[in-house]
Amino acid sequence: MLFVTSEVAGLAKAGGLGEVSAGLPLALRQRGIDVRIVMPAYAEVMAKIPAVAWTGHLPGRAAVPAARLGEVRLPDGMILYLVAAACLFDRRGTPYCTPEGADWQDNHLRFARLSLAAADIAAGRGGLDWTPDIVHVNDWPGGLTPAYMQWDGTRIPTVLTIHNIAYQGNFDATQRHGLGIPDAAFNVNGVEFHGRVSFLKAGSFYASHVTTVSPTYAKEITTESLGAGLHGLMQGRASRGQLSGIVNGIDESWDPGSDPHLPHHFEPDDLDGKQANADVIRTGLCLRPSDGPLFGIVSRLVHQKGLDLVAEAANDIVGNGGQIAILGLGDPEIEHMLSRTSRRHRDDIGVLIGFNEPMARRIVAASDFTLMPSRFEPCGLTQMQAQRYGALPIAHATGGLADTIDDGTTGFLFSNLSSDGLMSACHRAFDAYDDEALLAEMRRAAMARSFGWSGAAAEYDALYRRLIGHQPAPVRPSPRSRVQPAPPVVNDALEVAA
Ligand code: ADP
Ligand code: GLC
């Protein structure tokens, strides 16, 4: 199976997709599937990889430049293919943005290059002695892969996973020539979306099957309010049994008894360490000592996450004896809004602007509750991490939040998306905080939840098997990737694949 992604945690990550791309392929490999990942050779990635075996050349198409394909074996044994085109990927910044936060102007070419490389690998190009039996693409950056495969006649089944339908990769119609899109495909039955070229629409249209990251979100994207204009297409796919929701997992390293980033470890039956972690955070954020509950937020700071509701509810939360610790990065307006809120309550609300994995884990470990008033949330990883660390999530009942939080048992869900709705759930949390037995029981239940990747991997495996069974054989004879043994796990150093 070829896993096509624009982020992998540990190499280059902007959000949850990076975590998924690190966790899911490994879990699939543990099931005996021969998984290989393909991603762009960003400067940030190349700086972390000591040596790459360059396997071949990938031709350009229209304005999409040619690229080199490289192969690397990661420390965990995973084989990674890197698509190297210096003019597209050799620059400072995130996978999608400049260091100043603006989208790269040539993102259409950058991710068409990724998509085309994946399609080329599927067709046996790139000098690899390997072709996949299925291609699994993620989000809009991989969206043109199933389209290029269709136009090139590469008949291998494809899965598109939508991690967030709000990010679509839509570009001006004039770009279609440069992307090598056939005229006949610039059509409602193709890549066209309201007069523009849409990578996500293309993937959603051409993939053999579409998944998203929770069953509830799979239903929500068929509705006008959450389908971001693609609800009609999603309804069609759902009616043909070609849309499903599979909940993500989280990494095993989210273990409060062993996480090396935590100043103090703790267990469900011994929570002294949790209290000690809270004291460390209070001191670090210059909050006053308190016996009241600590509410944590670790989030990308974007409109989706509903943090304006927290700013509105802040007076109430603090007035009831609560404190709030926030770590986040994103939209400057939201950063300023939260900083202003914290300045109004210097002793009780602390905000750290930044992306910092150790600090994220410390805040979750220190918190009694985690606030997630997301307007929509395809899956969400933070609420699962929070439950593992006994930081009971208080969340809007949407998408994966509704699917992974057991209301009243492992957290608190609210339906009315407003600061009043959020506050009503917070009041339930304050009540639980005052009831020692209930709090202990809820923490135990939350921390006992298993959120590993094995369940998701089993569901994807079943889906792949079904699709492979239903498709004609690949265009050219190739070693059947599924039956090859998993590559051996090598030591800590990154090694070039043989
Ligand atoms: P999304 O992908 O929409 O941002 P998720 O909940 O799926 O939301 O995943 C977010 C992931 O990114 C979590 O693992 C979370 O800990 C991490 N994260 C978010 N913001 C930060 C931050 N400021 N610092 C460190 N990690 C962060
Ligand atoms: C997206 C979604 C988030 C999901 C993540 C991984 O970033 O916003 O809800 O958990 O992808 O699938």
Contact between residue 382 and residue 364 where contact means Cβ atoms under 8 Å apart: yes
CATH no. of 2-249+453-468: 3.40.50.2000
Index of the ligand 1 atom closest to the CA of residue 361: 16
Angle at 463 between CA 227 and CA 410, to 5 degrees: 65
Index of the ligand 1 atom closest to the CA of residue 16: 2
Q: For the stretch 83-116, what's the b/e string if a residue is b when 16 or more beta carbons lie within 10 angstroms of its beta carbon? A: bbbeebbeeeebbbeeeeeeebebbbbbbbbbbb
Sort 424 into a burial class: Cβ within 10 Å, 0-12 / 13-18 / 19+. middle
Index of the ligand 2 atom closest to the CA of residue 378: 9
381 lines ligand 1 (CB under 6 A): yes
20 lines ligand 2 (CB under 6 A): yes
38 lines ligand 2 (CB under 6 A): no
Q: For the stretch 257-294, what's the b/e string if a residue is b when 16 or more beta carbons lie within 10 angstroms of its beta carbon? A: eebeebebbbebeebebbebbbbebbebbebeeeebbb
307 backbone dihedrals φ, ψ, rounded to 5°: -75, -10
18 lines ligand 2 (CB under 6 A): no
4 lines ligand 2 (CB under 6 A): no
Which of 434, 436, 389 has its CA nearest to residue 410?
389
What is the C-alpha separation between 196 and 421, in angstroms, rounded? 38
How many other CB atoms are there within 10 angstroms of residue 29's CB atom? 21
Residues 6+ apart with CB under 8 A from 67: 57, 58, 60, 83, 84, 85, 113, 117
Per-residue tens of pLDDT for the chain, all 498 residues = 999 999 999 999 998 999 999 999 999 999 999 999 999 999 999 999 989 999 999 999 999 999 999 999 999 999 999 999 999 999 999 999 999 889 999 999 999 999 999 999 999 999 999 999 999 999 999 999 999 999 999 999 999 999 999 999 999 999 999 999 999 999 999 999 999 999 999 999 999 999 999 999 999 999 999 999 999 999 999 999 999 999 999 999 999 999 999 999 999 999 999 999 999 999 999 999 999 999 999 999 999 999 999 999 999 999 999 999 999 999 999 999 999 999 999 999 999 999 999 999 999 999 999 999 999 999 999 999 999 999 999 999 999 999 999 999 999 999 999 999 999 999 999 999 999 999 999 999 999 999 999 999 999 999 999 999 954 444 443 333 443 333 322 222 333 332
Tell me, yes or no, if the two domains 2-249+453-468 and 272-447 fold the same way: yes
With the most atoms of ligand 2 within 8 angstroms of its CB, the residue from 164, 250, 404 to mutate is 164
Both tokens assigned to 101: 């936060």
How many other CB atoms are there within 10 angstroms of residue 470's CB atom? 10
19 lines ligand 1 (CB under 6 A): yes
With the most atoms of ligand 2 within 8 angstroms of its CB, the residue from 24, 379, 401, 459 to mutate is 379
Distance from residue 399's CA to the centre of ligand 2 (Å):
10
213 lines ligand 2 (CB under 6 A): yes
Characterize the bridge pairing of strands 412-414 and 392-396. parallel
In this prediction, residue 470 carries a pLDDT of 56
Q: Where are the beta strands (DSSP E) in 63-149?
A: 67-73, 79-84, 135-138
Q: Letter for the amino acid at 432?
A: A
Characterize the bridge pairing of strands 196-198 and 192-193. antiparallel
What is the C-alpha separation between 383 and 234, in angstroms, rounded? 26
Task: Report which secondary-structure segment, H or E, holds 370.
Answer: strand 369-372
Extents of the domains making up the chain: 2-249+453-468, 272-447
Residue 38, strand partner residues: 4, 81
What is the C-alpha separation between 81 and 72, in angstroms, rounded? 6
Domain 272-447 has CATH 3.30.1310.10: no
